């Protein structure tokens, strides 16, 4: 796990350069938040702190899609996937190592988003730490599993980047990133409630901005806990399905 984490970190830094790496991971969420801030400022400033927490949380989704979700297909394109499958190391260890490298980038992006929100929009937090940590932990587990599901889908489709680019705006629209779920038209609220992100963002907003304790967040925490159990199982199942298919057909590196 440590070796794959280290390899992925070095690779990212060498490809991007330190400055490019920072620009990429800090720039994206900051400019997204700036857009939201400029839309809300002056008319509904109460949504700016919401957007800060939502944008910071959305960085987890981008890591889930563009990092974890594209891992297998990226390795295939480089011709190293077969090597990884044949290596005498637990699959879950190197997959998690890659995911942890993504977690570092996510932390950087989330921290810059929160810092930007505090400095530029004057957002202040009133955190209930147990509620924040439980909500974040459950959301992370759910997204970790979902990332492996998308990784399998990306490898199966051979177009993981296109899959990520297709899914990410859906997540932005339905994931309650910039607005509460009640801002959506009624017919869009149903699919929004099928996503762990919408529960996660709402719970994190309540816990970090309004000091709401866990006992008042059960309506968000219970579905999040369900996702935290089911999605990792789905991720493991999807990964096994891909590996089984690859071993049976032997076609992983044929195109």
Partner 1 sequence: MIPSESLQGNEVAWALSVTLATGRAFLTRMSAYLIQFVRWPLGPLLIFAVWRVMYGASGRTVVGGASLSGFLVTGIFGSVLLSSSIWTSGYAIEWERDEGTSGSLFLSPASRAAVIAGYGLGSFVWFLPCFIMVTLLGVATGATLNIGSMAAAALGALAMVTASLSMGFTLAGLFILSRRGNLIANVMQPPLLLLGGFAVPIARLPLSVRWISNGLPITHALEAFRPAVLTGAGLATTGRELALSFGVSAAYVVAGLLALRRVEHVARRLGQLDLY
Q: Which residues bind partner 1 (CB under 8 A)?
A: 15-17, 20, 23-24, 27-28, 30-32, 34-36, 38-40, 43-44, 47, 157, 159, 162-163, 165-166, 169-170, 172-173, 178-180, 183-184
Note whether 25 and 109 are within 8 A (CB). yes
Nearer to partner 1, 35 or 80 (CB): 35
State the minimum distance, in angstroms, from the CB of residue 248 to partner 1. 24
**For the chain, how far is it from start to end, CA to CA, in angstroms?**
28
Which of 94, 178 has the CB closer to partner 1? Answer: 178
Nearest to partner 1 of 27, 137 (CB atom): 27
Question: For partner 1, which is the closer residue by CB, 28 or 214?
Answer: 28
CA 10 to chain centroid, in Å, comes to 21
Smaller CB separation from partner 1, 89 or 183: 183
Work out how close the CB of 227 gets to partner 1 at its nearest, in angstroms, rounded to a whole number.
22
CB 144 within 8 A of CB 99: yes
Report the C-alpha gap between 102 and 158 in whole angstroms.
21
Q: 32 with 55: CB under 8 angstroms?
A: yes
Both structure tokens of 224: 């999040």
Grouping H, G, I as helix, E, B as strand and the rest as coil, residue 125 is coil
CA 81 to chain CA mean position, Å: 23
* C-beta closer to partner 1: residue 91 or 159: 159
Closest approach of partner 1 to the CB of residue 140, in Å: 24
**Cβ atoms 182, 161 nearer than 8 A:** no
Asked if 29 and 109 touch (Cβ cutoff 8 Å), the reply is: yes
Give the shortest CB-172-to-partner 1 separation in angstroms: 5
In the complex, what is the shortest distance from the CB of residue 225 to partner 1, in angstroms, rounded to a whole number?
Answer: 28
Question: Please, what is the minimum distance in Å from the beta carbon of residue 27 to partner 1?
Answer: 6
Q: Which backbone phi and psi does 132 adopt, to 5 degrees?
A: -65, -45
């Amino acid at each position: 796990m440590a070796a794959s984490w280290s390899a992925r970190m070095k690779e990212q830094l060498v490809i991007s350069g330190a400055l490019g790496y920072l620009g990429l991971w800090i720039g994206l969420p900051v400019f997204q938040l700036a857009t939201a801030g400029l839309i809300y400022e002056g008319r509904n400033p109460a949504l700016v702190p919401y957007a800060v927490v939502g944008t910071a949380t959305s960085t987890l989704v981008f890591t889930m899609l563009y990092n974890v979700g594209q891992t297998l297909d990226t390795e295939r394109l480089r011709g190293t996937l077969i090597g990884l499958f044949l290596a005498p190391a637990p699959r879950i260890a190197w997959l998690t190592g890659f995911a942890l490298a993504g977690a570092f980038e996510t932390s950087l992006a989330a921290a810059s988003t929160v810092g930007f929100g505090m400095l530029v929009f004057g957002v202040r937090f009133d955190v209930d730490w147990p509620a924040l940590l439980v909500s974040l932990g459950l959301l992370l587990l759910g997204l970790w599993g979902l990332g492996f599901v998308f990784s399998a889908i990306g490898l199966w489709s051979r177009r993981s980047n296109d899959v990520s680019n297709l899914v990410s705006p859906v997540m932005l629209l339905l994931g309650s990133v910039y607005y509460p779920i009640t801002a959506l038209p009624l017919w869009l609220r149903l699919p929004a409630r099928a996503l762990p992100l919408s529960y996660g963002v709402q719970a994190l907003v309540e816990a970090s901005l309004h000091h709401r304790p866990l006992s008042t967040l059960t309506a968000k925490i219970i579905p999040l806990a369900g996702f935290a159990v089911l999605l990792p199982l789905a991720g493991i199942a999807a990964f096994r399905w891909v590996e089984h298919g690859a071993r049976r057909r032997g076609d992983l590196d044929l195109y």
